Amino acid sequence: MDNNKSLDYLFKPKSIALIGAAHSEEKLGGVILKNLLKFRGRVYPINPKYGELMGLKSYGSMRDIPEAVDLTIVMRPASEVPEILNGLAGKSKSVIIAASGFAEIGQTGLQEEVKKIGEDIGVRILGPNCMGLYNPYHNLDTFFLPYERLKRPKKGNVSVVSQSGAILSCLLSAVRETNAGVSKAIGYGNAVDIDELDIYEYFAGDKNTDVVISYIESLGDGRKFIEKAKMLSAKKSLLILKAGKGASGQAAAFSHTGRLAGKYEVFHSILKQFGIRETADFDELIDAVKALSYQRPAGGNRVCIITNGGGSGVLAADECVIQGLEVAKLPDDKAEKLRRVFPYFYGVNNPIDLTAQVKDEDYITALNELKDDYDGFVIIALPNVMGITERLADMIKTVRPDIDKPMVFHIPRNGVAKKLISSLEKIKIPVYPSPERSVRGLKALLE
């Protein structure tokens, strides 16, 4: 069976068994069962103590359920997992093992036993020591975190793959806050079988995924990683955040997932050599995700900054230099034309300074005049002045079809600007809380 077909049983199952189901959310098996109640397929709780759980018939063992299932979730202690797996032969096509207590605490023998059993009975294994997966397009949520503690993002075009369950939950919260949406999310933990390479291959063919976030602590086969990452990058926007950059981080990575982190310098240089994007930190990752989930990358490096605050424009220009973007001089003929239509005290350079006496339509005038001269635009609208209103979003929406270039905004997030920010993001214009972050967002669209 090919990789994508086998992972369909994980991401798009028609039937699920939950071994270790519980009647209450005080237990993780109860949290998972409640999350599975929205699943459109068949759910079989397995717990011999109960005849019914959360309105579903409960079964004593896998032998008692009336069919072989696509996915089995095992929420039992690590010591019980080998025996449970042996009982899944012919009864399940894929397995999620959520429990910890394997190689990450030195129990490598137990983990190897799990791996061998999976190979012998022909099932794909996610985990152990993993958070599971989330596919809103399939109403599938196997996380052991209640919705009240981790509000899931809406449907969208961002897929998230993470070794760490904690980082996965943080990434999902951050994606939700950017008003972007998720296609799929998966935490693969110790990767006894399914690892980032399998998931990259699967996401490369996923029609609902345009952007892939990948949090990595350690790698198995470095050569295969580069091969799969290059393949995925050719089809989707892949953003990698690598942990374990120093000796302490590498040791922490091993204690977390039981996989060696390797030398970061080698990893970094190889990514750079093959043009695979790596983000420096969590914030840079999320800023890039926001931009890429809203707009298509376009390439180029010529940037025009349009601002109503001189200092903010300078900060944006400085960040452009840091990011390797060119704040190119306005063409002489265009500058002359803008000087004729703008008040004499506007600064017609790059950045264009519309001053505190700005009007909404001034941004549109500048954009229309310069749309063919730059690869992307950073627009800074400081809303404390009377000339910035909610109408600016409507004006941008009107001209957007004719200005098909990457465009980001910096607008401070205060009460006055809340509706303007919301209106811009509804038309897929990302808004950032600082000039520097807006530039970094644009950078992601120009790479």
- Any idea what the CATH number is for the domain that residue 32 is in? 3.40.50.720
Q: Are residues 429 and 303 in the same domain?
A: yes
Q: Are residues 364 and 247 in the same domain?
A: no
Distance CA 361, CA 395 (A): 8
Please enumerate, as own/partner, the contacts of 249-255 that have beta carbons within 8 Å and a separation of 24 or more. Answer: 253/217, 253/218, 254/104, 254/218, 255/104, 255/105
Which residue type is seen at 230? K
Structural domains in the chain (count) = 3
Give the model's pLDDT for residue 262: 58
Residue 146 placed within a domain? no
End-of-domain residue from the set 253, 268, 294: 294
Distance CA 165, CA 145 (A): 10
Q: Which residue has the tokens 């699943």?
A: 39
Residue 278 placed within a domain? yes
Residue 140 placed within a domain? no
Conformational region of residue 384, where left means phi above 0, alpha means psi within -120 to 50, and beta covers everything else: alpha
Residue 256 placed within a domain? yes
Higher pLDDT, 245 or 112: 112
Q: Are residues 305 and 441 in the same domain?
A: yes
Edge-to-edge order in the sheet of strand 431-432:
347-348, 352-353, 303-307, 376-380, 407-410, 431-432
Query: What is the separation, in whole angstroms, between the first and last Cα of the chain?
Result: 36
pLDDT tens, position by position, 5-31? 899 999 999 999 999 999 999 999 999
**Which uninterrupted H or E stretch holds 133?**
strand 132-135
Which of 18-22, 117-121, 246-250, 255-259 is predicted with the least confidence, judged by mean pLDDT? 255-259
Which CATH number do you get for residue 408?
Answer: 3.40.50.261
Asked if 181 contacts 154 with a C-beta cutoff of 8 angstroms, the reply is yes
Q: Which residues pair with 125 in a beta bridge?
A: 95
Q: Are residues 119 and 158 in the same domain?
A: no
Residue 319 placed within a domain? yes
Q: Are residues 204 and 157 in the same domain?
A: yes
pLDDT tens, position by position, 96-130? 999 988 878 877 899 999 999 999 999 999 999 99
Pairing of strands 155-162, 182-187: parallel
Confidence grade of residue 447 (pLDDT, cut at 50, 70, 90): confident
Q: Which residues pair with 250 in a beta bridge?
A: none
Domain holding 438, by residue range, is 297-446
